Amino acid sequence: MSSTPTALPFEELAEAIQGRRSDYGHISGLQLDRFAPAEAWSSLPYRPVFVGDTETGVLHGGVVTAMLDESCGMAVQLALDGTRAIATLDLRIDYQKPATPGLDIKAHSVCYRTTRSIAFVRSTAYQESEDDPVATATACFMIGANRTNMLADRRMDLRSIPTLEAPEDPDGPFANSPFARCLGIRVNDNGTLTMPFSPKIIGNPILPAIHGGMTGAFLETTAIVGVARELGAAAPPKPIGLTVNYLRSGRALDTFANVSIVKQGRRIVAFEARAWQDDANKPIATAFGHFMLRSTPGLEQD
């Protein structure tokens, strides 16, 4: 007979979350700085490997996406009793402005409602002031997504922590994107992209499952590369908003993705991206979003 897991007292719950609830959260350096019931204040130290464009020094949007996903999950756990596994159902990111190079990123997440099965969260990512956000997010999480209990049952083996490194590739498509190189993303001849599985992108190590933020980062990278290639853009498009829908757990397998343009205007392009693993007809996640383009004569007005 299986035993019912014991709920953690709030202080112990917060302490367990401070130990990081995901492998990627741990190796990225994400910290839970302050907490209250259903609220989490976190921070992510600036690191050169997080850069998305070395010409500007601005962080890769996927770094912000992954941080907000993790921070939202912390707020959900702080609203619960620590015995139930959670999984991201959807995550919407609105990018307000580029992050200032060299500064840490902070996030304040609030789980403002829970039902028996679903938790609803909102979050703000900022640097110097929460009133001047880098990005805002809303998310839904499934409660009791599986039988694992990461907070109460498992702690990371500190002796085997992988590192986040960006190997040099001056002639590759991500020569100016350390974070994309860190994830090992590569462009295939058929236009799809591949993110190889590695221990550093794990979220839930018990299943194991890929971190939802890593899947979001991969989809965003796929969209940037694909849209720029399709339009022959001289510079990467600027993300405005991104909504990721999580359909299945990303298993310990390589992940593939492609993108299609839904609508193209003079300044704005709408896109849809899909990620899958062993079956392209069974996506693990999809993303819909908008990019800002440089003005190009001859394109239709939005």
Hey, which residues does 125 pair with through a beta bridge? 107, 135
61-79 vs 212-231: helix axis angle to the nearest 10?
Answer: 150
Give dist(CA 257, CA 275) in Å, integer: 4
Give the pTM: 0.90
**Helix (H), strand (E) counts: the chain:** 6, 16
Tell me if 300 is assigned to some domain: no
Tell me if 234 is assigned to some domain: yes
SS3 245: strand
> How many domains in the chain?
1
Determine contact, residues 149/5, Cβ cutoff 8 Å.
yes
More confident residue, 113 or 2: 113
Tell me if 256 is assigned to some domain: yes
* Res. 194: pLDDT tops 60: yes
Backbone angles phi, psi at 137, to 5 degrees: -145, 150
pLDDT in tens, 13-28: 888 777 766 888 888 9
Please give the pLDDT value at position 37: 94
Q: Which domain holds residue 42?
A: 10-147+166-292
Tell me if 1 is assigned to some domain: no
Tell me if 188 is assigned to some domain: yes
* Res. 154: pLDDT tops 70: no
Give dist(CA 219, CA 193) in Å, integer: 9
Per-chain mean pLDDT for the chain: 88
DSSP 48: G
Determine contact, residues 285/277, Cβ cutoff 8 Å.
no
Q: Angle at the Cα of 96 (from 90 to 98), degrees rounded to 5?
A: 110
Tell me if 251 is assigned to some domain: yes
Q: Which two tokens stand for residue 43?
A: 């921070």
Tell me if 280 is assigned to some domain: yes
CATH of the domain at 135: 2.40.160.210
SS3 216: helix
Determine contact, residues 260/219, Cβ cutoff 8 Å.
no
Tell me if 199 is assigned to some domain: yes
pLDDT in tens, 268-283: 999 999 999 999 999 9
Please give the pLDDT value at position 299: 44
